[in-house]
Amino acid sequence: MSKLTASFRLMRVGFILAREGVLSALPSDGLPASLAFFHRFAGWFARKRSKKTNRSENMSRAMNKLGPSYIKLGQFLATRPDIVGSEVAKDLSSLQDHVDTFPHEQAIAQIEGSLGRKIDDLFVEFGPAIAAASMAQVHPATVRNPDGSLRKVAVKVIRPGVRRRFAKDLEGFYLAAEMQERYVPAARRLKPVSVVDTLAQTTKIEMDLRLEAAALSEIAENTRNDKGFRVPAVDWERTGRDVLTMEWIDGIKMSDIEGLKSAGFDLNALAVTLMQSFLKHTLRDGFFHADMHPGNLFVDKDGCIVAVDLGITGRLGKQEKRFLAEILYGFITRDYRRVANVHFEAGYVPPHQNMESFAQANRAIGEPIHGQSAETISMAKLLTLLFEVTELFDMQTRPELLLLQKTMVVVEGVSRSLNPHFNMWKAAEPVVKEWITKNLGPIGMAKDLTEGAQSLLTFARRTPELVRSVERIQKGADKMAQEGLHLDDDTLKRFALMQGKQNRFGRYAVILIAVCMVIITYKLVV
């Protein structure tokens, strides 16, 4: 029944997207004849007003009608141009989740339920919401310090019922992904079910404000000695699953260019600090703020950049950090074979592909860039082109690298808004060079040897356990060879039950198609 319910939800989604003119505005080039027909058919359902507005406005209106889960889905897909295409991803990246605030009394109930204390015991004052999004809203408040002084804080409160609503909509996302993998072979490389898994995981993390508080704490610890960048301090006493209390930031948004100029800040210095901070977080720490749009960045009175809203973060392992540093350095030095070699060593490009051909493709990306002035070279565009080329060589989708690419596009855009002539490569080179020196030079080799010795020692300690495991596996294999493979009655019953469910779902699909045709006929006649 859950699949049947999810099917009806998807039908409603399709109808709203068609009515708001989203489906008919999507690119139709290269579509098979059957899909091209449905593309034209969707245009008949579109409202007249949708034809007078652009696609991004129609998308925003449709996503807000569909609710918080679909707003998050749209924002998530904006990080995956490999799935939706670069044009649609660009439209989705402008999708804002500004929605109506929920009642003040419900916010208080959420806080008291999460922390187990009365609102008057927690805050001296608790003001009305000043901003609301799909998942939460923010309230200004005042707390009393142990010495009796007052301190202003920002209180983020989860929207009531949002977890239940997301869980229901998630069923529809999985159904759509499963159908895509089953009926669209070309889409299997993109692993749509895994994409939904990633969305589910990141959103669940975002809906537990204790984890956002932990992200703030981790980045604060990583950047405690960095100049020019910080995050708000967390008030752990007033933080729980549904509420996050943190330092109130008085500053100028980085989107307010005129305000920054009037305050006397050096815009180029801010751009350099922002870019270098992001690269340090990525390469040095392997943990970065993945939603660094101008609305989440402030400049305080001391000229320090303060990043807020860490609901979305990204992580890179050692291999991914090396991959990023090597390709950036390889393009800087025009060593295209080095760039290709890193892709093959990391296993991102299958070994059956030709490395020389891949190096040639990288040269096609790099050489035009070296013919331009440094101010016009876009690091984010370079990564975008690189990922487009890797598709030709069967590179498997790497979600963590795409999230990095998306964030770099945003950070680069903010830096260039501060200074249109900002030299991206000059700002990035010290950070990339330092990381390569420490991790790929003699110091890095010594570190790798130490880690390797530790791994060997751990392996040696586990040798007796591994030997016993191998013996058990060998005995099991010998028994199977002698007696054959046997399935117990319970296993056979489960197989039969699963097969029955699949058959029933097939019948449900036929019924749904028939219902759709009746609705379509009715619409055409009436």
Per-residue three-class SS string for 428-450: HHHHHHHHHHHHHCHHHHHHHHH
Q: d(Cα 429, Cα 407) in Å, to the nearest integer?
A: 18
pLDDT of res. 333: 76
Q: Which amino acid, residue 432?
A: V
pLDDT of res. 67: 77
Helices vs. strands in the chain: H and E counts, helices first: 23, 11
pLDDT of res. 482: 65
Q: pLDDT tier at 303 (50, 70, 90 boundaries)? A: very high
Q: d(Cα 302, Cα 246) in Å, to the nearest integer?
A: 19
Q: Write out the CATH class of domain 99-248.
A: alpha beta
Q: Which residue has the tokens 């770099």?
A: 408
pLDDT digits (tens, 9 = 90+) for 43-75: 777 777 666 677 777 777 787 788 777 877 777
pLDDT of res. 470: 66
DSSP 109-127: HHHHHHHSS-HHHH-SEEP
Which one-letter DSSP state was computed for residue 154? E
Question: Residues in the chain, how many?
Answer: 526
Which one-letter DSSP state was computed for residue 286? S
At residue 313, what are phi and psi to the nearest 5 degrees? -130, 165
pLDDT digits (tens, 9 = 90+) for 481-516: 666 655 556 665 665 555 555 444 444 444 444 444
At residue 395, what are phi and psi to the nearest 5 degrees? -70, 130
Share of the chain above pLDDT 70, in %: 70
Q: d(Cα 426, Cα 410) in Å, to the nearest integer?
A: 18
The tally of CA atoms less than 13 A away on the side-chain side of residue 259 is 11
Q: Is the confidence at residue 523, as pLDDT, over 60?
A: no
Q: Is the confidence at residue 280, as pLDDT, over 90?
A: yes
State whether the Cα torsion 241-242-245-246 is positive or negative.
positive
91, 291, 309, 335: which one is catalytic?
A: 291
Active site residue 302: no
Q: Which residues contact 30 (CB under 8 A, 6 or more apart)?
A: none
Break the chain down into helix, strand, coil percent, rounded to 5.
Answer: 65, 10, 25
Q: Is the confidence at residue 519, as pLDDT, over 50?
A: no
Do 381 and 356 form a contact (C-beta atoms < 8 A)? no
Q: Is the confidence at residue 520, as pLDDT, over 50?
A: no
Q: Which two tokens stand for residue 54?
A: 């652009």
pLDDT digits (tens, 9 = 90+) for 95-135: 665 677 899 999 999 999 999 999 999 999 999 999 888 88
Q: Which amino acid, residue 243?
A: V
Q: Where are the alpha helices (DSSP H) in 116-161?
A: 119-122
| Angle, in degrees to the nearest 10, between helices 192-206 and 399-418 | 60
CA-closest candidate to residue 93, choices 295, 253, 273, 256: 295
Share of the chain above pLDDT 90, in %: 28
pLDDT of res. 493: 61
* Cα angle value 291/293/299 (rounded, 5°): 115
* Beta carbons within 10 angstroms of residue 390's beta carbon: 22
Return the minimum-mean-pLDDT range out of 42-46, 179-183, 396-400, 450-454.
Answer: 450-454
State whether the Cα torsion 330-333-336-341 is positive or negative.
negative
pLDDT of res. 268: 92
Query: Coil, helix or strand for 253?
Result: strand
Q: d(Cα 312, Cα 212) in Å, to the nearest integer?
A: 8
Q: Which residues contact 303 (CB under 8 A, 6 or more apart)?
A: 228, 265, 266, 269, 270
pLDDT of res. 339: 84
Buried b (16+ CB within 10 A) or exposed e, 328-351: bbbbbeebbebbbbbbeeeebbee
Mean pLDDT of 461-478: 67
pLDDT digits (tens, 9 = 90+) for 207-263: 899 999 999 999 999 999 999 999 999 999 999 999 999 999 999 999 899 999 999
pLDDT of res. 171: 84
Q: pLDDT tier at 375 (50, 70, 90 boundaries)? A: low
Q: Is the confidence at residue 186, as pLDDT, over 70?
A: no
Query: Coil, helix or strand for 245?
Result: strand
Q: pLDDT tier at 183 (50, 70, 90 boundaries)? A: confident
Question: How much is the mean pLDDT over the chain?
Answer: 78
Q: Which residues pair with 298 in a beta bridge?
A: 253, 306
Helix or strand (DSSP H, E) at 288: strand 287-289
Q: Which residues contact 308 (CB under 8 A, 6 or more apart)?
A: 231, 232, 246, 249, 296, 297, 298
Q: Which two tokens stand for residue 43?
A: 């245009």
Q: Which residues pair with 157 in a beta bridge?
A: 137, 243
CA-closest candidate to residue 292, choices 398, 200, 153, 417: 417
Checking 116-121 for CB contacts under 8 A at 24+ apart, the result is none
Extract the runs of DSSP E, i.e. beta strands, from 134-228: 136-144, 150-158
Domain residue extents for the chain: 1-97, 99-248, 253-440, 442-481, 487-525
pLDDT of res. 518: 44
Q: Which two tokens stand for residue 56?
A: 């991004």
Helix or strand (DSSP H, E) at 384: helix 379-392
Mean pLDDT of 178-196: 76
Q: Which two tokens stand for residue 524?
A: 């055409």
